[in-house]
Structure 1
Amino acid sequence: MEINKITSTLTTPLLDKETPKNSPSEQNFGALLAEYLGKVNQANLQAEKLSQDLALGKNVELHQVMLATEQASLALQLTVQIRNKVIEAYQEVMRMQV
């Protein structure tokens, strides 16, 4: 019996794995971080714009506003958790005795 790899069919617009021009090993961490933060900021701006359009009575569906708001919220929570883990790892390295 052959065992196949489990692959996820769910994708998140903020975390889509687009093939970059450079391989992942060639991208530096700063550029990767800046790109991700830009996507998080864009999601927040889109959610805010949709909320304002809904409040102004424009032709916007409520479910679109809710989805955009939740995606922006989850992206921000993920960013905060990544920051916390990076700080925790840094503190752990600083506690190491040489």
Structure 2
Amino acid sequence: MNNISYIQGLMDYQNQVRELQSSVGVPTISDNNNQTEKPFGVHLGEAIAGLNQNMNVIDNDTTRVISGDENDLAKVMINMTEAQLSLQTAVQVRNKCLEAYNDIKNMQF
């Protein structure tokens, strides 16, 4: 009988937390437009595709500046900065993934 009251207490607590989250406006997993249902690999692939797109844009902009087709140097510099930040972020994510992999690899069970 104790276990049933304990489980009922947990269920009541979960319901209270959900009500509090909805009243405060904290998004739940179902409110997140399926963002949490995507696997990590999908998010990583999208990020790499975005990085590739930024690098292609800056490559095209650089070619156009050199050939004289592009006169807006400020736009090219903004695109270059965006590409640089994207690349730096990708390198840091890679470093963290490798660090986590090495930590897991070195664990002894």
Task: Quote the Cα distance in structure 2 between the aligned partners of 1:25 and 1:43.
Answer: 25
Mapped to 1, the partners of 2:47 and 2:66 lie a distance apart of: 29
Relative to the length of structure 1, the TM-score reads 0.73
Amino acid at match of 2:92: Q
Partner AA of 1:73 in structure 2:
Q
Larger-gyration structure (1/2): 2
Aligned residue in 2 for 1:52:
63
% same residue: 33
Q: From 72, 75, 81, give the equivalent of 1:61.
A: 72
Structure 1 gaps of 5+ residues are 1-19
Tell me: higher relative CO, structure 1 or 2? Use CA pairs within 8 A at least 6 residues apart.
1
Query: Gapped runs of 5+ residues in structure 2?
Result: 1-31
Structure 1 moving runs of 4+ over 3 Å: none
What does 1:13-92 align with in structure 2 at a 5 Å threshold? 23-92=34-103
Secondary structure of the structure 1 residue equivalent to 2:80: helix
Question: Cα RMSD (Å) of the superposition?
Answer: 1.4
The separation in 2 between residues aligned to 1:85 and 1:96, in whole angstroms, is: 17
What is the number of equivalent residue pairs in this alignment? Answer: 78
TM-score where L is the length of structure 2: 0.66
Whole-angstrom distance in 2 between the partners of 1:57 and 1:34: 34
